Amino acid sequence: MALSTLLATVLCTIVLPVLLFLVAVKLWEVYLIRGRDPSCPRPLPPGSMGLPFLGETLQLLLQRRKFLRMKRQKYGYIYRTHLFGSPTVRVTGADNVRQILLGEHRLVAAQWPASVRTILGSDTLSNVHGAQHKSKKKAIMRAFSRDALEQYVPVIQEEVRAAVRDWLQRDPCVLVYPEMKRLMFRIAMRILLGFDPEQIRTDEQQLVEAFEEMIKNLFSLPIDVPFSGLYRGLKARNFIHSKIEENIRKKLEEDSEGLGCKHRDALQQLIDSSKNNAEPFSMQAIKESATELLFGGHETTASTATSLVMFLGLHTEVVERLRQELVGLQEERGVDLQNLTMETLDQLQYTGCVIKETLRINPPVPGGFRVALKTFELNGYQIPKGWNVIYSICDTHDVAEIPNKEDFQPERFMATPSGEAGSSSSSSSSRFQYIPFGGGSRMCVGKEFAKVLLKIFLVEVVTQCNWTLLNGPPTMKTAPTVYPVDHLPTKFSPYVPN
């Protein structure tokens, strides 16, 4: 009697719940697979949909690159999953990504996960479409024109030089990644949003902490309840909006009094565009766009600058070649490295190759989000209408058909006339082997700004410093941009030319 009671207890408390759970998972999978379009003869991509409602979001958030690598090895270059509340197809490889990027408005449209849209807002460049996207992009592009970039160079050099000077005074080490985020945040606040240096010093600590909290919760389950990731992200976002609104009102007041400055930063361009379009002025829309600019303008450059310090710390021969290029410009062309210009930066060919190679191995943004506007075929599979599509930048770089792709070799970008890595093939898909800034009509609007900023950073750091990575090669993580888990502890020391 006691044995039968024990068996019944085990069945009720352990076996039955496990069986019910497995049945629920199977029913969830069947329910989602029924979402395939019966009018298309192609099958859904292989894959799994994870737990009911949660999908595989938690595995992605916890494991990041390990999860993505495992899925690619198991299912190939196109597979289905369920992320951030939506059935999703993840796409890798130049040929496949090319069809997604060139299919904008025809096959797919940009659509980030619900949590990103909620936190960043619906009026941001990454979330608007059609005429609204074209108008907003045009306004922002004026802030990244060559004339505008020329004005930014002295400000960037001033901020970078001050940061490098501070690192040289630190003992025993500098945690590079947090320092890069602070440096790039200050630069973005001054150049993109027009904050003055004194205002940045006053609000910097609070703003950096709020931005950290917002970024940490940008990709989360779309559940807005107290203490959830989305709730914390929105709370941090609201604080950032309050500070940006103060600056917008200050700009509006200066304009009304005829005190507007000659330099038109990206935020000012958005304000001017809003006025010129004869539409009602929307403070919320401007704040959302400014927050997106701040995210795109500092988070990605901080990631890449950190990767530059890491790769150069591991490859001192590349540092020496960078210095040789700079010395050559000084001696042969009389270039003044203390007062950089766009013309000088254009001549830094090898420096540009170092940045390109860093972006190839460690692209700061792992991929982009789209939604299928209609059911279409991709490499033998159907992508159902309404499903999300993620094109992978990091995986596409990983599988690109280029020689010695695991090695850090900046000179590979000097080997071809176009300056792009890879085979000499002129096929239309070969250029999609290297897509650190995305592609198509949604290519990153700030890519030229990023290149200028990173070149200035390299000039300052290699002419002033030697450095040693105290922990050796770090483990890299993505959340949401790529960064070293140990924050890259580094010892900087003054560089004295021979």
Residue 424: the pLDDT is: 44
Highest mean pLDDT among 2-6, 9-13, 431-435: 431-435
Q: Which residue has the higher pLDDT, 7 or 414?
A: 414
Mean of the per-residue pLDDT values of the chain: 86
- Kindly tell me if the per-residue pLDDT of 17 is higher than 70: no
pLDDT, tens digit, for every residue of 342-354?
A: 999 999 999 999 9
Q: What average pLDDT does this structure show over 155-172?
A: 92
DSSP string, 209-262: HHHHHHHHTSSS-S--STTSHHHHHHHHHHHHHHHHHHHHHHHHHHHHTT---S
In this prediction, residue 14 has a pLDDT band, given cuts at 50, 70 and 90, of: low
Give the tokens for residue 177.
């990644």
Task: Decide if 209 is inside a domain.
Answer: yes
- Residue 104 carries which DSSP code? B
- Kindly tell me if the per-residue pLDDT of 34 is higher than 70: no
- Kindly tell me if the per-residue pLDDT of 255 is higher than 90: no
Work out how many domains the chain is built from and give that number.
1
Task: Decide if 477 is inside a domain.
Answer: yes
Task: Decide if 56 is inside a domain.
Answer: no
- Range of 278's domain? 81-494
Q: What residues form the annotated binding site?
A: 444
Select from 294, 339, 361, 375 the least CA-distant residue to 119.
294
How, if at all, do strands 174-175 and 489-494 pair? antiparallel
CATH of the domain at 466: 1.10.630.10
- Kindly tell me if the per-residue pLDDT of 36 is higher than 60: yes
How, if at all, do strands 381-383 and 174-175 pair? unpaired
Give the tokens for residue 126.
């990454």
| Strands across the sheet containing 108-110 | 78-83, 86-91, 388-392, 367-372, 108-110
- CA–CA separation, 53 vs 392, rounded Å? 23
Residue 80: the pLDDT is: 95
First to last CA, the chain: 90
- Kindly tell me if the per-residue pLDDT of 168 is higher than 80: yes
Task: Decide if 350 is inside a domain.
Answer: yes
- CA–CA separation, 422 vs 360, rounded Å? 11
Task: Decide if 61 is inside a domain.
Answer: no
Lowest mean pLDDT, pick from 203-207, 209-213, 302-306, 473-477:
203-207
Lowest mean pLDDT, pick from 169-178, 199-208, 226-235, 416-425:
416-425
pLDDT, tens digit, for every residue of 392-411?
A: 999 999 999 899 999 999 99
Lowest mean pLDDT, pick from 139-148, 362-371, 485-494:
139-148
Task: Decide if 55 is inside a domain.
Answer: no
Q: Are 80 and 47 in contact (CB under 8 A)?
A: yes
Q: Are 382 and 40 in contact (CB under 8 A)?
A: yes
Q: What average pLDDT does this structure show over 232-249?
A: 92
Q: What average pLDDT does this structure show over 289-296?
A: 85
Q: What residues form the annotated binding site for heme?
A: 444
Task: Decide if 115 is inside a domain.
Answer: yes
Measure Cα distances from 115 to 111, 213, 230, 234, 297 in Å: 11, 14, 6, 9, 20
Lowest mean pLDDT, pick from 40-44, 99-103, 142-146:
142-146
Task: Decide if 180 is inside a domain.
Answer: yes
pLDDT, tens digit, for every residue of 43-97?
A: 999 999 888 778 888 888 777 778 888 999 999 999 999 988 889 999 999 999 9
- Kindly tell me if the per-residue pLDDT of 482 is higher than 70: yes
Residue 261: the pLDDT is: 57
